[in-house]
Amino acid sequence: MRALPARPGLRRGLAEAGLVLLAVVDALIGLPYASTGATAAALVTACVLPLRRRLPWVTALVAAVGLYYGYALVAAMAVVFTLAVRTRGRRPVGVVAALVVLGGNLVATELPQDADEWVSAVLYGLLFATAPWALGELVVTRRELSRRLAEIDERVAREVLERERAVLAREMHDVVSHQVSLIAVQAGALQVTAAEETTRSAARTIRELSVRTLDELRAMVEVLRTAGGSARRDGPQPGVGDLDGLTAGCGLVVRSTVDVPGDLPAPVQRAVFRAVQEGLTNVRKHAPGAEVTVSVVHDGARTRVEVANGPATGPVLALPSARHGLLGLRERAALLDGQVHAAPTPAGGFRLVVTIPDP
């Protein structure tokens, strides 16, 4: 069996226990050379080490006393390291390092007798004073560099995303907008020159849908060109009040029932509109000529949207599809704690049901 990874709290607890144990061993090493009181002071210093993060200066004072009277070098070095990591000012940490380690080393031992012993004692004290201080500064520098690198990575990713959005917006404007504009122009010309009323009506519908598509496309391009989204200003979003226009201009035979309060939250209204829009789009693509029933009702606790159609009566056109419509609808409903059910009917049609609870 593979061992489970240790939790951060458990790892920290084990590290603290190991440090305290090491400091206790350091205090017991001097037992043959120190008095009982000196050993007790060193043991107390080892036991207060877990408090060095919450009370760093108090722990530093205890470590200085313990080092002065006994063998508490490991504890003193740990305190200096913690101060270097958690304290911004360097001078206070340097003073504490000098007092805790250098001063304790020179005072607790016998005074040197000659210059060589003085030099050795000073170098020995400086080594044990500056090593934990330098290590703490290294840890702080590493954390700061990691933070700066994370900021740089985030900035680079944001710039790449903005460039991609700009390219996408340009392509949508130059290609899609141009082609949809041509469709609208051709439909307008057909509406004027066609002799049959059915042809003129179909051309009028195509032109209206093209103009509406151009409006939504321009809004989408503006959103894509907005860097970061902070300056984004959303225009009026479609809601329940726009369902009549949607069903009337879809080019299908639709029987619609809308019975919902007008004060539904804006996200719910947008989800309802998009659900009906997606259902009608699928009917046009996969069941041309089919009769459609649209029902939007509210029962006091939730809003239920149903778009059902019968079998197709005309030839199905091979239209391009990324099959992202229902997926996006499910994601939108999930954000509102709603559900989506889509399945064929026994009569050869299709039914789309979206249920959204009240916030």
% residues pLDDT > 90 (the chain): 11
pTM of the model as a whole: 0.47
Residue 217 contacts residue 247 (beta carbons within 8 Å) = no
Question: What pLDDT was estimated at residue 324?
Answer: 67
- Strand arrangement of the beta sheet that strand 292-298 belongs to: 254-259, 292-298, 302-309, 350-357, 339-344
Strand partners, 24: none
Q: How far apart are the first and last CA of the chain?
A: 46
pLDDT digits 0-9 by tens, 134-168 = 787 788 888 889 889 988 988 888 888 877 777 77
Which of 47, 3, 54, 44 has the alpha carbon at shortest distance from 21? 47
Amino acid 107: pLDDT: 46
Continuous segment of H or E residues that includes residue 220: helix 197-225
Helix (H, G, I), strand (E, B) or coil at 4: coil
For the chain, residues with pLDDT lower than 70 are 1-9, 12, 27, 30-39, 65, 67-70, 88-126, 128-129, 171-175, 177-178, 225-236, 317-324
Distance CA 60, CA 180 (A): 75
Q: How many residues does the chain have?
A: 359
User: Which of 207, 297, 198, 202 is closest to 243 using CA atoms?
Assistant: 297
In percent, how much of the chain has pLDDT > 70? 71
What torsion, rounded to 10 degrees, do the Cα atoms 317, 319, 322, 328 define?
-70
